[in-house]
Amino acid sequence: MHPKSTRGADLKEREQMSATEVAIFVQRLRGLMSEIATFPAPTIAAMDGFALGGGLELALACDLRIAASSAVMGLIETTRGLLPGAGGTQRLPRCLGVALAKELIFTGRRLNGMQAHELGLVNHAVAQNEEGDAAYHRALALAQEILPQAPIAVRLGKVAIDRGMEVDIASGMAIEHMCYAQNIPTQDRLEGMAAFREKRPPKFVGK
């Protein structure tokens, strides 16, 4: 995700819609966010400009978030007579905790990249550059860190974390066990162990 400005829904367009059309639009938007959230590979949101309302909901649907210090983000729906409808009321509390999420949603407060990093809303905040794409480049660097790792292990790690966060810890441990068991037969696991023994970098192939 790397739009310079991700402001979410076009409110001028929304104003012309009937109540039924709005409901269908938001339902489709919610479905899109869920598809992004369940995408098998890691997803990184790079916020260099505005990420307001649906823009921040899109970033929250990603696994990792990077923001330029000058980026502006917030779930501002209550300032427009709305409430977040594309996952914001569910993903923000899971990211920041209930009380802080309520404060940000109730007030519609806007945060810059540094403030978002201090709260834990983004993984990294970076100084903006002259080209206005500092977060994008930091996101690429982070992706390059992930890329050499065993693809199946990373994918199953994402599944274990995401599903485990929704249940009690005992159930989460069972989910982790199932994911771990799926990884045991992979060629990459054997390659990782061999590379460690032979003191060389592993060459993972995703099998």
Residues recognised as catalytic: 9, 54, 57, 77
**Alpha helix positions (H), 125-186:** 134-146, 151-164, 169-183
Cα distances from 25 to residues 16, 60, 179, in angstroms, run 12, 19, 35
- Beta strand 72-74 with 111-112 is antiparallel
| Residue 49 structure tokens | 């400009």
CB 103 within 8 A of CB 86: no
